[in-house]
């Protein structure tokens, strides 16, 4: 087995309290010791950013991982911000004209922890792109580390054979295994926490449980199983087990936890409309000079940006409901 993976499995996701890291002058550096020791640990008032492609973007609608983390860290005012975007890779994150780069969104959201999940779409191009993949991934990490050094990497879950007339994507797990290994090595070299979802589902040998219905895109149940695997690897297995076996629709068996997930989904819909509005062209793109983007009495005034900020108290109110729901969770 890869020595980095052995080291990670030996205890890099401990959940004991973490002392602040201090520099030579004894002053705190602002980076919890757990992140330098490659443990996954959140702290009071943290803002956690999920960054990745299609799988991460789709996870926003189900709220599975966020609901489990909200239960684990209830009462600590942890906030979660999903910046996933369909089709994003480490190579390119195309956006509309004028749409702020990821770094600007991380800054505005005051993100303190970033969870990256890339590699699945890139592996479709085969192992010849691995050197470019690692170089691009490392640059993305370095760019985002200007905002926070508390960064964790996730390997992607395996592909599956959907059967029927659909292509057998499971055959691409040989390539995906190479990408997962490269991510493990990158995490070790950068001293970052790693959650190995590829290994959690037996990697190239994966057959069951089913995560997709077409070999590629996770179902709601698939997202739930991936979230449970994350929690188990991060040392929160008790919560993963108490969540129970998810239904075919992705509902948690634990009623109290399913209520948390419902509150998370409600908040995430508000967040989605706030951070990536469909009418961006009028808000900050190439149509901001149009009359409909300006006040009808005073065209010098742009009403749209101020109107969008009204989402903020709605999001905060929804997060309060998440905390209220999580307070009733009957397990630690």
Percent of the chain past pLDDT 70, that is, above it, reads 88
pLDDT at 331: 65
Is 314 within the bounds of a domain? Answer: no
Please check whether residue 197 is in contact with residue 226, taking contact to mean a CB–CB distance below 8 angstroms. yes
15 has a pLDDT exceeding 70: no
Is 214 within the bounds of a domain? Answer: yes
Is 305 within the bounds of a domain? Answer: no
Looking at the 3D structure of the chain, how many domains does it have?
A: 1
Domain extent at residue 75? 3-265
What's the CA gap between 40 and 21, in Å, rounded? 15
Please check whether residue 46 is in contact with residue 78, taking contact to mean a CB–CB distance below 8 angstroms. yes
Is 211 within the bounds of a domain? Answer: yes
Segment 243-279, tens digit of pLDDT = 999 999 999 999 999 999 999 999 999 999 999 998 9
CATH code (residue 258): 3.40.50.1110
Segment 126-179, tens digit of pLDDT = 999 999 999 999 999 999 999 999 999 999 999 999 998 999 999 999 999 999
* Cβ burial 272-308 (10 Å sphere, 16+ → b, else e): bebbbeeebbbbbeeeeeeeebbeeeeeeebebeeeb
Coil, helix or strand for 195?
Answer: strand
Is 84 within the bounds of a domain? Answer: yes
Segment 192-209, tens digit of pLDDT = 999 999 999 999 999 999
pLDDT at 38: 65
Confirm whether pTM is higher than 0.95.
no
Is 61 within the bounds of a domain? Answer: yes
Is 276 within the bounds of a domain? Answer: no
Is 236 within the bounds of a domain? Answer: yes
């Amino acid at each position: 087995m890869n020595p980095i993976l052995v080291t990670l499995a030996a205890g890099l996701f401990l959940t004991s309290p973490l002392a602040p890291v201090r520099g030579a002058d004894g002053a705190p550096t602002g980076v919890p010791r757990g992140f330098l020791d490659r443990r996954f640990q959140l702290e009071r008032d943290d803002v956690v950013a999920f960054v990745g492609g299609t799988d991460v973007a789709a996870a926003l609608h189900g709220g599975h991982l966020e609901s489990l983390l909200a239960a684990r860290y209830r009462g600590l005012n942890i906030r979660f911000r999903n910046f996933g975007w369909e089709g994003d890779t480490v190579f390119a994150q195309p956006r509309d004209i004028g749409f702020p780069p990821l770094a600007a969104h991380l800054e505005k959201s005051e993100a303190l922890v970033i969870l990256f999940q890339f590699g699945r779409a890139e592996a479709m191009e085969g192992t010849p792109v691995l050197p470019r993949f690692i170089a691009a991934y490392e640059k993305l990490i370095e760019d985002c580390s200007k905002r926070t050094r508390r960064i964790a990497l996730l390997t992607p879950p395996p592909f599956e054979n959907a059967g029927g007339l659909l292509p057998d994507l499971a055959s691409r797990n040989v390539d995906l295994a190479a990408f997962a290994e490269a991510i493990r090595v990158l995490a070790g070299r950068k001293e970052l926490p790693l959650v190995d979802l590829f290994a959690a589902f037996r990697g190239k040998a994966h057959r069951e449980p089913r995560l997709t219905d077409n070999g590629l895109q996770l179902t709601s149940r698939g997202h739930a199983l991936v979230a449970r695997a994350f929690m188990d690897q991060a040392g929160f297995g008790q919560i993963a087990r108490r969540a129970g076996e998810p239904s075919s629709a992705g509902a948690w068996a634990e009623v109290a936890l399913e209520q948390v997930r419902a509150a998370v989904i409600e908040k995430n819909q508000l967040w989605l409309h706030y951070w990536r509005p469909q009418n961006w062209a009028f808000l900050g793109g190439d149509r901001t000079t149009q009359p409909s983007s300006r006040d009808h009495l005073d065209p010098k005034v742009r009403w749209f940006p101020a109107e969008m900020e009204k989402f903020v108290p709605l999001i905060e109110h929804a997060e309060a409901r998440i905390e209220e729901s999580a307070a009733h969770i009957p397990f630690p």
